[in-house]
Amino acid sequence: MSQTAFYLISAIILGGALAMVTSRSLVRSVIWLVVSFVGVGALFLLLEAEFIAAVQILVYAGGIVVLFLFVIMLVNLNELQRVEYLHRQWLPAVLLVCVLLAELGFMMWAGTQGSEPPPPDQISAALRTVNGGNIETIGMTLYTDYILPFEVVSMLLLVAMIGAIYFAKKRV
């Protein structure tokens, strides 16, 4: 069942990515990007990494896509549509895709040459040895071992927010 769900979600991600790249409308490309991001979040849910799935959907499918939409709204679309569309970039793109597919095939072949991986039941049991699940583990690690970097990042975000408010108020 989980293998079928993996293949279905992977097909949705790949379809969204292909539609994003081939779409001529920038807004539609961003919508297809959201489909891909939500699919990646679903893959994280399938791996039982709920916190990372929530962060993926909130940060990427929410925040980054809103940023992209603001940039698209600020760009002059009429001038952008007059620019030639990917005529000179098809050959390097096809060559890069061929190289990446060859690398992926080699890595898959090399992965089958080594030792056998442990059964999924052993992996799942090893991951569940932590009491409370992965969200509690991330929280405990973040607020004990990494408290100083966490506080530095929070101060930087606070300064950036105050600066953005200051610049926005100055223009209004």
Q: Answer yes or no: are the C-beta atoms of 9 and 37 closer than 8 Å.
A: no
Mean pLDDT of 87-116: 82
Rounded to an integer, what distance in angstroms lies between the CA atom of residue 22 and that of residue 2?
30
Question: Structural domain boundaries of the chain?
Answer: 1-84, 131-172
- pTM value is 0.60
The DSSP annotation for 55-69 comes to HIIIIIIIIIHHHHH
What is the number of helices (H) and of strands (E) in the chain?
Answer: 9, 0
Buried b (16+ CB within 10 A) or exposed e, 42-57: bbbbeeebeebbeebb
Rounded to an integer, what distance in angstroms lies between the CA atom of residue 142 and that of residue 135?
10
Mean pLDDT of 137-145: 81
Percent of the chain with pLDDT strictly greater than 70:
78
The DSSP annotation for 21-41 comes to HH-SSHHHHHHHHHHHHHHHH
Contact residues for 45 (Cβ-Cβ < 8 A; gap 6+): 53
**What pLDDT does 126 receive?**
55
Q: Is the pLDDT of residue 172 over 60?
A: no
Mean pLDDT of 46-71: 84
Mean pLDDT of 54-78: 79
Our measurement of the distance from residue 73's CA atom to the centroid of its chain's CA atoms, rounded to an integer in Å, reads 23
**What pLDDT does 130 receive?**
56
Buried b (16+ CB within 10 A) or exposed e, 132-162: eebeeeeeeeeeeeeeeeeeeeeeeeeeeee
CATH topology of domain 1-84: Four Helix Bundle (Hemerythrin (Met), subunit A) (1.20.120)
Confidence of residue 131 (pLDDT cuts 50, 70, 90): low
- Which range among 65-69, 94-98, 143-147 shows the weakest confidence by mean pLDDT? 65-69
